[in-house]
Amino acid sequence: MKIRPLSVLALVLAATAFAHAAGPLIGQPAPDFTLPDAQGDAHSLSGYKGKTVVLEWFNPTCPFVHKHYDSGSMQRLQQQAVKDGVVWLTICSSAPGREGYIAPKDAPAVEQSVGMKSTALLLDPDGKVGRMYEARTTPGMYVINAHGVLVYKGAIDDQPTPDPASLQGAKNYVAAALAAVKSGQPVSPAETKSYGCSVKY
C-alpha cells in the first residue's frame, strides 16, 4: 500500500507527541532517581517523601541562569523555600566537554561563586536524570508535592529573556506553585513552556 505524504506527516507528529508524553506527567508520581551532590553524598528523590521538592536544572554559563543568580532572585527563592521546609535540588546535566559541565572537584566552588542557597547541587553528567524528566532548558523547574506527585513543570517565570530588568513585575511560577502547595490549593498553571539555554547533553 502506498503511503501518502500527509499520512507520513501524521505518523511523524504522532510519534513526536508520544515521545513528549513519555516524560513526567502532571498529577503522576515523579520519577525516582539518585544523584551525588557536590560533596559526593547521594540524594534520592524517594528519600524526601513527605516533603515538597523543587528540581532546578542549572548551567553556570547560561545567560538565562545568570539573570536569576546575578540579581539574587534565585537565591532568595531557594532560601525562603528551604526555610519553609522545602527540599530544593539544583541539577547540572551538562556532559563532560560540553558547556556548563561541572567536574565533581569544582562543584563546591561553583556553589560558592553563585551564592547557591539550595539544599544541594546534584551532578548528572551522563544526563540520565535530565532525560528522564525531559529537562530541555536551564533554568528548567519542577515542583513535586509531599506525596511524590509532580504538580508543576516548566519555566521559572513569565519573562523568557536574559535581561535582568525583566524580573521587575515578573510572575514567578515556582513561587506561586510553592504557595499553592503550602496552602493546599491546586497549582495553576501546572505546566508552562520552559525557556533558557538548551541542556547540553
**pLDDT digit string (tens) for 114-159?**
999 999 999 999 999 999 999 999 999 999 999 999 999 999 999 9
As a whole-number percent, the residues of the chain with pLDDT over 90 amount to 88
| Cell numbers at 81, concatenated | 523555600
Cis peptide before 139 (omega within 30 of 0): yes
Strands 120-123, 87-92: parallel, antiparallel or unpaired by DSSP? Answer: parallel
Instruction: Check pLDDT > 60 for residue 184.
Output: yes
| pTM attached to this predicted model | 0.88
Residue 179 lies in a domain: yes
For the CA atoms of the chain, what is the radius of gyration?
17
CATH number of the domain within which 81 lies: 3.40.30.10
Cis peptide before 5 (omega within 30 of 0): no
Count of beta carbons in the 10 Å neighbourhood of residue 22 = 10
- Report which residue type is found at 201: Y
Residue 16 lies in a domain: no
CA distances from 134 to 94, 128, 129, 170, 186 (A): 14, 10, 8, 25, 23
Residue 90: DSSP 8-state: E
Residue 5 lies in a domain: no
Count of beta carbons in the 10 Å neighbourhood of residue 13 = 10
Q: How many domains does the chain have?
A: 1
Residue 184 lies in a domain: yes
Residue 15 lies in a domain: no
Residue 66 lies in a domain: yes
Report the half-sphere exposure of 162 (CA within 13 A, side-chain side): 10
The helix (H) or strand (E) run that includes residue 43 is strand 42-44
Residue 120 lies in a domain: yes
- Residue range(s) defining the domain that contains residue 177: 25-198
> Given pLDDT bands bounded at 50, 70 and 90, which one contains residue 6?
very low
Q: At what angle do helices 73-83 and 173-183 cross, to 10 degrees?
A: 10
Residue 171 lies in a domain: yes
- Rounded Cα gap, residues 153 and 192, in angstroms: 7
- Rounded Cα gap, residues 54 and 179, in angstroms: 13
| Cell numbers at 123, concatenated | 551532578
